[in-house]
Amino acid sequence: MTLKSLKTRSMMLTLLFTLAGPISAAELDDQHALAGVKAGKGLFDMATGNPNAMLVTLNIVGETLDGLKRQGVEPDLVVAFRGPAVRFVSGDDKLIPSEHAATTMEIAARIEQLAGRGVRFEACGITTRMMKADNAKLVKGVQPVANTFNSLIGYQSKGYALIPVF
């Protein structure tokens, strides 16, 4: 699959989720998959440069958190921002196109809310260095790390399920 087709697919999924409205799976359960599971360890690899897709995904992270808890599984979720996604958590207005300013503010609010509920957020130090973004200005709740590829390797080695977001 080419990068262009991945971006097109990402935009189409974002549009689908946006048109569908809020997702509610309250009537459904995941007991077959979660039977015997005590801790739900998930690692969201957020590499999209589409802030709308990022916001949709952050909302799904919240639903994942709620769904695991509702089904008796202790959630342990991490979101690793890398590549183009870092722009929208940089806290630097110069890096954010003006047409995405409002969505970026929504992303920041959602991250702060989810971080308060125990979700860990990391931003790639390689990307911030390449973008010349100041790690001290990252959105509240986002921790800079040296290299999110190292994070992805480490978390997966610890049993976290990888959830790619492109």
For 30, half-sphere exposure in the C-beta direction (CA atoms, 13 angstrom radius) is 18
Collapsing DSSP states into helix, strand and coil, what is residue 72?
coil
pLDDT at 166: 85
Residue 141 carries which DSSP code? T
- CATH number for the domain harbouring residue 87: 3.40.1260.10
Task: Tell me how many degrees the CA angle 17-138-154 measures, rounded to the nearest 5.
Answer: 75
Q: How many domains does the chain have?
A: 1
Return the axis-axis angle of helices 51-70 and 3-20, rounded to nearest 10°. 60
At 59 the pLDDT is 97
Single out the residue of 59, 44, 70 nearest to residue 14, CA to CA. Answer: 59
3-class secondary-structure state, position 157: helix
Contact 95, 87 (CB under 8 A): yes
- Quick check: is 123 in a domain? yes
DSSP helix/strand/coil, 124 = strand
Residue 137 belongs to what domain range?
A: 42-67+74-165
Write down the pLDDT at residue 99. Answer: 96
> Residue 150 corresponds to which tokens in the numbers above?
């190292």
Cα–Cα dist 77/52, whole Å: 21
Exposed e or buried b per residue across 88-112, where buried means at least 16 C-beta atoms within 10 angstroms of its C-beta: bbbbeeebbeeebeebbeebbebbe
In a domain, residue 36? The reply is no
The answer as to whether 118 is a domain residue is yes
- pLDDT (0 to 100) of residue 25: 55
Within a domain: 32? no
Q: Is residue 91 part of a domain?
A: yes
d(CA 84, CA 134): 15
Confidence at residue 85, expressed as pLDDT on a 0 to 100 scale: 98
Residue 124 resides in a domain: yes
What is the pLDDT at residue 26? Answer: 60
Which residues lie closer than 8 Å to 63 by C-beta, 6 or more apart? 23, 25
User: So what's the pLDDT on residue 9?
Assistant: 54
* 121 is a domain residue: yes
What's the CA gap between 33 and 23, in Å, rounded? 20
| Residue 23 in domain | no
- Please list the rounded mean pLDDT of every run of 10 residues in the chain (166 residues): 52 52 69 96 98 97 97 98 98 95 98 98 98 97 98 98 94
**pLDDT score at 27:** 81
